[in-house]
Chain A
């Protein structure tokens, strides 16, 4: 019985399927309890019918819940607040489905004939005659098509079909605007920050006065001009312009010479958009001046021009140069000096601020 297909291909690898123990053949069928005991079989029959009889009850329950339970009713189960309608609809429908499933399987397990049967297997390959017939048909067809004598039709057809890929692919060129240098300069390399734009609280749009920000405080802010935008333009602008303002003790931080006039008495302003993949960074460690991104844990040192101190981000957090207006409110001195958010291929980001720059 151990003649196996493996032996038919002895060219490689001595696979030895022979068992030292002879195959005893298919195990003898052992009758189930329900096969030999009529009472047990009747009991199983009643159980299965009983399960099915419960299904209509549950379906009626579902309908009652659907029409009678108010949408906002709540249910307390073990201290958890469940939405009553959702829970009861699911409970009735779920149990009904469960009963159908269990009764069908129980039927197959204990009442249907459980004699194992044995079938033949054949190799996956077609029989040799079939292969030869198809090859012969192919030959006849090729001959009939006269492609061997008129070869140009074949290559012409292949070339024509191949070329038709071009219109299909080119038609996709309008999927989006092309990020040419001019387009990039107006989109991903630019935010709505500009000289004289006020820094405002990101929820109330109230202007921020420099002397009202305490040492250690962090404010989420936006440009005042953001509120003029709506819809898509608003979301796109906000996705780049979001900033955080922190005030630190000037003596405990390092401000490079080139950025001395980017800050107001230890009030520094950074892009909120992570230079890794663009999450809004929001976890602030007041004492270490570190800012941690909750998405992938890139950590930036705001007391040191936003350089990366940990995590997968590679570029320093862009800093927004700020000053105060005549009334002491914080305003931007310009847009960000480098693009915010993740790096991109066309721009060499190695000249961004790194540790040690002055």
Chain B
């Protein structure tokens, strides 16, 4: 006989409770509360209204981050079908033209991804374009940080992490480029074989250890696969996390402007503005890479064919980011030393290992060298306008010019055929250009920076050009100038100007004195408050006429 399924509320044996009535949280807050009760979400998240300043140049690093995420997503898809094996197979897939051709499993599975897996070609092409974009965005981001002085204290360590990211990003790209085992990637690997072999003392050992014996062997692709999908992405992920954590800790730098100081940060809250803007931007970057994958063919390995160590294509090029090394390798004279029965292949070691080492070492050291030269030990959260640090800007442009010349040298054969000039002449020209062009670039850039400083000074003193030509009663013509707003005048004058170090009780070495003098020399002094007041007074007296140039200013616009 069934017992009554009733609860008798009056039974003394049973206590009844109603669910606790807490103040009912909003619809959004309820799940957040559930998580917070368990893991302390609010403490974990910290300030979701964290402020980030807005400027287009701050998006460059975001592009790098997003292309890395795209690489992870598309890379996972590719690993599902790619076989990192150099075992020889006879191709029997759907691409008619290669039926029966012996090739490595790596190449055969790349063909299968391109022809048999729906969407496989698209993902392959997105992956390759995103890799190009990843390095390009990192490079552009690094230049932004350099030219605005954002690497200064307290951000030197984050700059070093960034240099690390860029350098291992190159390795990651190269490893990926080598995996399909097509004619082009095999040629790249053979080049690396020669590069490794050229290292003095240990070259042959390093070569045998990297390739597991003689080139090409059957180990290099499985090894590069491990490097490409595990080792380096793991390092990248860790370094990117540290990079972002430091960004959050330091708070983003900001451009100078009204109300902005070294002690505040002005901008929009992370939630909801940057969740929408940055999240939306991720989709835009993804969309651009997808559309590139749809419309712009990249690395059509079925045209190159499988790797054949007895063949090479004219116009073989690495991906763009290795172009500067390729260029240096091409233009260096054929220096080889023979000492005590050994051979020192400087013609490969210097431009290959040496140039990459030089680039990344100088990038890593620059913040410390500049701080040593200027003696600046203060924190900086306001960015420099590049013109206000003329020597740094000049050095940066000189570096870009040297990189550009090396990069162009990497296509000396293409330049020769496209412009119908002698290949030898292009090569000889580039040998000089890699040294001369950076020097010219430095001089020209520094002059431009100083001219821009002068123009800023003029604008502060005389206002901006109105575009209105006024004829005076006595027949002269002049352009009316409009006074600047206080905010703009403040923006143009708040920057510190570097000054030469003078021994002031403390000892300052001769070299350091000279360098600091060189760093500070030639700057156009900012207008003083008195000069601004005088110029304003003058303009009022002249009543719409162009105020004459002040001493030290160079207006050059008097009729």
A→B interface (CB under 8 Å): 1-6, 8-9, 11-17, 19-27, 66, 71-72, 82-83, 85-91, 93-98, 100-105, 107-109, 112, 114, 116-121, 123-125, 172, 175-179, 183-184, 187-188, 202, 220, 222, 230-232, 234-236, 238-239, 242, 272, 276-280, 282-283, 294-298, 308, 310-315, 341-350
Contacts and interface: CB of A to CB of B under 8 A. Distances in A.
B329 A277 contact: yes
A86 to B, nearest CB: 5
B529 A20 contact: yes
A102 to B, nearest CB: 7
Interface stretch (B212-220, B236-244, B434-442): B212-220
In the A-B complex, the 7 residue pairs with the smallest Cβ-Cβ separation, listed nearest first, are A90-B294, A277-B194, A12-B375, A104-B280, A101-B283, A26-B259, A239-B309
17 contacts: A13-B374, A71-B115, A90-B291, A95-B287, A105-B281, A119-B51, A188-B214, A235-B309, A238-B308, A239-B216, A242-B310, A278-B191, A295-B316, A297-B413, A314-B347, A342-B198, A345-B200
A230 B104 CA distance: 12
Interface residues of B, number: 141
A125 B343 CA distance: 52
B345 A342 contact: yes
Interface SS majority for chain A: loop
Contact of B266 (A82, A98, A118): A118
Interface of B: 49-51, 86-88, 94, 115-116, 118-119, 121-122, 125-126, 154, 187, 190-191, 193-195, 197-205, 207-219, 249-251, 257-259, 261-269, 272-274, 276-277, 279-288, 290-291, 293-295, 307-316, 326, 329-336, 338, 341-345, 347-348, 351, 374-379, 381, 412-413, 423-424, 427, 460, 485-487, 489-490, 493-499, 501, 506, 516, 526-529, 531-532
A276 B154 CA distance: 45
A205 to B, nearest CB: 13
A187 B214 contact: yes
A101 B343 contact: no
A15 B487 contact: no
From A294, A308, A343, name the one whose CB has the most chain B CB atoms within 10 angstroms. Answer: A343
B118 A94 contact: no
A66 B122 CA distance: 12
Given A98-B283, A104-B277, A314-B335, A15 B490 contact: no
A222 B310 contact: yes
Contacts of B199: 345
B506 A11 contact: yes
Given A176-B213, A231-B218, A97 B204 contact: no
Contacts of B314: 282-283, 294
B496 A16 contact: yes
A256 B263 CA distance: 79
A116 B268 contact: yes
A117 B51 contact: yes
Contacts of A236: 213-217
A15 B194 contact: no
Given A102-B280, A277-B348, A314-B345, A187 B267 contact: no
A232 B217 contact: yes
Contacts of B531: 20
Contact of A27 (B51, B258, B315): B258
A5 B376 CA distance: 11
Nearest to B427: A297
A282 B312 contact: yes
Contact of B336 (A108, A117, A230, A343): A343
A344 B204 contact: yes
B329 A176 contact: no
A105 B261 contact: no
Contacts of A282: 311-312, 314
